[in-house]
Structure 1
Amino acid sequence: MAKLKIDNVEDDKPVTLTVKLSAAIHRDLVAYAEAVKRAGGKVVDPASLVAPMLKRFMATDRAFTRARRESNRESCD
């Protein structure tokens, strides 16, 4: 099996956020949690995957990181 992009779910102080997901996305989260379990033997709650997935998405979005960097520069001026 190929290495999963999300394989370690950090135990950080959470902030509660309520979102509505489509049934298809929920099924995919459940399937991803099963894949994490098979890959590392660790049981993961599908909801706990949302934060690391968003974190990874934002970290790899070049336009977002560029805009964030520019915004930080402007706030320092």
Structure 2
Amino acid sequence: MTKLKLGPLVDDKPAKLTIELPAVVYRDLVAYAAALAAETGGDPVPPEKLIAPMLARFMATDRGFAKHRRAAKAEPLRV
């Protein structure tokens, strides 16, 4: 089995969001949860628990976003 990009999930205090997903994305999240459970030996998590770690992983590996964040931190504060 190939190694999934998402590892074990950390239990953290969440911020509440309400979103609508296409049915195909929801089905893929359910399938990913099952694959993650099989890989980690745990129980499948609800699909909504996957969204935050997936977004965090995506943003952490997005070079353009990292460059933008570095540039924003380098700018002096304007008052």
What range is the shorter-chain TM-score in? over 0.9
SS at match of 2:65: helix
Alignment-derived partner of residue 66 in structure 2: 65
Aligned length: 77
Alignment-derived partner of residue 17 in structure 1: 17
Structure 1 gaps of 5+ residues are none
With normalisation by structure 1, the TM-score equals 0.92
The two structures, once aligned, show a CA RMSD in angstroms of 1.3
1:4-60 per-position Cα deviation (integer Å, ceiling 9, x unaligned): 111211101100011110000000000000001111121212110000000000000
Task: Give the % identical residues.
Answer: 51
Structure label with greater radius of gyration:
2
Q: Following superposition of structure 1 onto structure 2, how do residues 48-63 of structure 1 map, counting pairs within 5 Å?
A: 48-63=49-64
**Separation in structure 1 between the aligned mates of residue 66 and residue 49 of structure 2, nearest angstrom:** 24
Match of 2:31, as an amino acid? A
Contact 2:8/2:40 (<8 A) preserved? no
With normalisation by structure 2, the TM-score equals 0.90
**Separation in structure 2 between the aligned mates of residue 45 and residue 8 of structure 1, nearest angstrom:** 13
